[in-house]
Amino acid sequence: MTRLLRRIAWALPFALLLAFAGLGEAHAQGTVRGFVTDATDGLPLQDVNVVLTEAREDRVGGPLKYGAVTDRDGFYALTQIPAGDYTIRFTFVGYERYEYAVKMEAGGLLALNVELQPTGEELGELVVEGARTGAARITAGQQSIRPADIERIPSPDVSGDLATFLSTLPGVVSTGDRGGNLFVRGGEPTQNLVLLDGIPIYQPFHLIGFYSAFPSDLVQRADLYAGGYGARFAGRLSSVLDVAVVNGNKKQFRASASASPFITGLQIDGPVVDDRASLVFSLRQSVVEEVASELVDQSLPYNFGEALGKVHLLLTEEAQLSVTALRSWDRGRLADFATEDAVAVAEADEVRYTSNAIGGRLLLVPDRLPLLAEILVHYASHRSELGSRSDPRQTSYVERIGGEAHMTQYLGDHEMTFGLFARTVEVDSRLAGLYQNFDGNQEWITEVGAYAEPSFHFGGLQVRPGLLVQTAFRGATKPLVEPRLRVVYERGRHALSGAAGVYHQQIVGLQDRRDAASVFTVWTGAEEARVPRATHVIAGYRARLPWGFEVAGEAYHKWLEGLSIGEWTAFPRFTTRLQPAKGTARGLDLRAELQRARYYFALTYGLAEVEYQAEQETLALWYGTERLRYNPPHDRRHQVGATAAVTLGALDLSARWQYGSGIPFTRAFGFDGFVLADGAIDVTREEGRRRVIYERPYNGRLPAYHRLDLAAAYTVAFSGADVALQASILNLYDRDNVFYYDVFTQRRVDQLPLIPSLGVKVTLR
């Protein structure tokens, strides 16, 4: 029976695929498709409205009309069009309208790539809805982010960073200014899938919380799926951050350099072959250790940076190839800054991590099929070390090579997406007893999977069921079946959305969450009998109100199983045994936003509860229960965020206030010693070990976190160059926000104090 079920599970995506292919063939009629780009730089334009209108006007009920919106590659497709004469119209805010007369033949396929010319006029007060992103624009857990959204958030640098924006979202809990960990709707950082042009990045966030490997200048668009994501994404439990790097400018060259007390940057962008190939490259290196630490008169032992580049090539009218590469590095010490003079201690606590990634993406539109094919190959690695540079006491390495193919077939109002993937992951760790019942290991794991995900559109209703089947080859190969569903219903100003899905994670990241100041992560294959699994359910409502107001609310619930967490022990040590656990994360996000051309305001609130149930064997002995419920240290119950931005000519002003209620920590009642009284103990010889006395794990809460940041940016245009100046103040009222509290010494390490900052950026055109 089990074997039969496995076969059915494997066959289902292919059966769905064949059924849809047959449907498409039966209705094959004319198709018009192509890419839409900006005429001045060759960059793809997303969310362009494409409308095909029948030329004849004598049809009863009016002429036939077909519509589509371009995707992130600027691609559109209109299918199942009867033969006849039509007018195709492309409209996009800020660009001149483009109209073209086309003649469709039965079964014909017309490729039409279009360049839109910017109008050069200032936008009106209202932003076109189709292109809108922002705090309140969330649909079934998915939120799209554009550089403009990021730039509204005050940061110490002239250019923004995706990490700064993510930390403003309700449901996203960060460790603050330090730490580089993001928890999305209750999930652990290692349960987030971060993709850069389809390449997985294992640790994209730098040790200073303002920065990631994604400077806003290089982000074309990012999609954050806080849960309930579709069948295209596999291998992580909690969320997906899908970042698209901007293609380089194919028309003209541009270079910029920036400096601030935190980071310096250099960027070039331009054509390699006019109109055909472009290159964009960014290099950033932190100076926080040298400059910002002087500003705050406090040691800030962080060194980080990244080099990110992308080559984009138009192979033919129907094929595009891009190669993206990233190298990101971090070195720093999070635990205790008071022992600056103790070099040995500093080295012992130092964490270092490096991520490398390179990948290619081929976008192909076959000649005769109403199909968009996307083929990706990637290589990614991540090395993490803890301890001295010459002889780290713990190391973890993960390396992954893989490929995947995604096909989208356009069938009138409906679409069929299907794909498959294969990847091999090597994990190698040396842990020196960090996890006492898990030795460091070296292991190769190969994962394969296939999915099918049709998308049905019925008026305002979009239904997107999906099914993913995957397995890992390591001993027994057990297929994991993951059904997914996304539903959106839009009517007028209102939109209802929902999502649900089952998710597994074969390659897991272990972090000792007892140690808030640790970002050291061990990647390893999950136990075959206990592959972590999550089930998500999301329900949301969004309404567009007059005058650019938008409100949204979304409730979510995640069930988590097969987790591995550190066991508790009264021995005050940073090594632990792993114990099984399961958990739930649930919450409600509320968002209100006012978006006008010159000013912007957003208010968000997140209510959340994360609860784990530990299953440690000794729990019954210690607490009289076999399962201990507790709130892990990322259980931030309340989050409030307010963002305001005003544009006054060349001057941009922005402010951000954020509040987060206290997160759990383990309160100690005292410290004594422990001697194992297992016989005739000689107390004059038996030293015993020190012990921490606590009642229950995470029984206390740290004080609330809140901070106000302000920024003002002014851009002056010269002939051939723009100079942007930015002044910012972070933590304006100098709030003492706790980053880390050492229960052993009762010492606290705070987040960053008030920091004034002045940044400059020069762009050569």
Partner 1 sequence: MPRLLAFLLIPLLVGGCEATVDPGPGPDRPFTLYGYFDAGSDVQAVRVIPIAETLVPETREPIDARVVSTDLGTGAEVVWRDSVVTFASGAVGHVYTAPFRARFGSAYRLTVTRSDGLASVVETQMPPEATVEEQPARRDTTIRESGGMPADTTIRIDPSITFDIRGAIPRLLDVQAEYRVAVSAADEDGIVLSIPYGSSGDTDSSTSGLVQQTAEGWRITMRLEQDVVPLKTELLRLGLIDRRSEPIYFLDARLTMLAVGEEWVSPTGVFDSEALVEPGTFSNVQNGFGFVGAGYPITPALQAPDDVIEAAGFIIAPE
| Positions that interact with partner 1 (CB under 8 A) | 569-572, 577, 618, 621-622, 638, 640, 659, 661-662, 665, 667-681, 683-694, 700, 702-704, 706, 735-738, 741, 743-746, 748
To which residue do tokens 């899938």 refer? 193
Is 399 within 8 Å of 429 (Cβ atoms)? Answer: no
DSSP string, 537-569: EEEEEEEE-GGGEEEEEEEEEEEEEEEEEEPP-
3-state SS of 305-316 is EEEEEEEEEEEE
**Closest to partner 1 by CB, 301 or 703:** 703
Q: CA 380 to CA 462: how far, in whole Å? A: 35
Two tokens, residue 105: 């033949």
Residue 686: CB minimum distance to partner 1, A: 8
Residue 43 backbone phi and psi in degrees, to 5: -80, 145
Distances (CA, A) of 122 to 494, 593, 597: 29, 22, 9
Of the pair 339, 424, the CB lying nearest partner 1 is at 339
| Length of the chain, in residues | 765
- In the bound state with partner 1, the residue whose beta carbon lies nearer, of 205 and 705, is 705
Which C-beta is closer to partner 1: that of 211 or that of 435?
435
HSE value, Cβ hemisphere, 13 Å, CA-based, for 699: 10
**Closest to partner 1 by CB, 624 or 720:** 624
**Shortest distance, CB of residue 304 to partner 1, whole angstroms?**
28
Q: Residue 181 and residue 209: Cα distance in Å, rounded?
A: 8
292, 268, 257: which is closest to 156 by C-alpha? 292
- Residue 345 or 704 having the CB closest to partner 1: 704
Distance in Å, CB of 606 to partner 1, minimum = 12
Tell me phi and psi for residue 428, to 5 degrees: -150, 120
**From the CB of 173, what's the least distance to partner 1, in Å?**
16
Task: Find residue 109's DSSP bridge partners.
Answer: 31
By C-beta, is 640 or 646 nearer to partner 1?
Answer: 640
Closest distance between partner 1 and the C-beta of residue 564, in Å?
Answer: 17
- Distances 186 to 124, 162, 163, 588 between C-alpha atoms, Å: 40, 20, 18, 12
Cβ neighbors of 378 (< 8 A, separation 6 or more) are 198, 199, 200, 357, 358, 359, 360, 400, 401, 402, 403
Shortest CB 742 distance to partner 1, Å: 9
The contacts of residue 630 (CB under 8 Å, 6+ apart) are 611, 612, 614, 664, 696, 697, 698
Distance CA 431, CA 125 (A): 58
CB of 687 to partner 1, least distance (A): 4
Give the C-alpha separation, 323 to 311, whole Å: 5
Nearest partner of 202 among 427, 3, 373, judged by Cα: 427
DSSP 280-294: EEEEEEE-IIIIIHH
Q: Which is closer to partner 1, CB of 669 or CB of 718? A: 669
Kindly tell me which of 513 and 691 has the beta carbon lying closer to partner 1.
691
For residues 477 and 618, which CB has a smaller minimum distance to partner 1 in the complex? 618
Q: Decide whether 597 or 677 has the Cβ nearer to partner 1.
A: 677
Q: Between 297 and 687, whose beta carbon lies closer to partner 1? A: 687
Q: Cβ 666 to partner 1, closest distance in Å?
A: 9
> Which residue is it, tokens 């022992």?
339
| Parallel/antiparallel/unpaired status of strands 109-111 and 30-38 | parallel
Q: Are 42 and 275 in contact (CB under 8 A)?
A: yes
CB of 348 to partner 1, least distance (A): 17
Is the CB of residue 760 less than 8 Å from the CB of residue 263?
no
Strand extents, DSSP E, 412-493: 414-430, 442-458, 461-473, 480-491
Please check whether residue 127 is in contact with residue 49, taking contact to mean a CB–CB distance below 8 angstroms. Answer: no
Residue 114 tokens, joined: 């279009």
State the minimum distance, in angstroms, from the CB of residue 643 to partner 1.
18
Choice between 48 and 565, CB closer to partner 1: 565
Please, what is the minimum distance in Å from the beta carbon of residue 605 to partner 1? 8
**Shortest distance in whole angstroms from residue 554 CB to partner 1:** 18
Nearer to partner 1, 289 or 734 (CB): 734
Minimal distance, residue 48 CB to partner 1, in Å: 42
Q: Supply the minimum distance, in Å, between the C-beta of residue 71 and partner 1.
A: 40
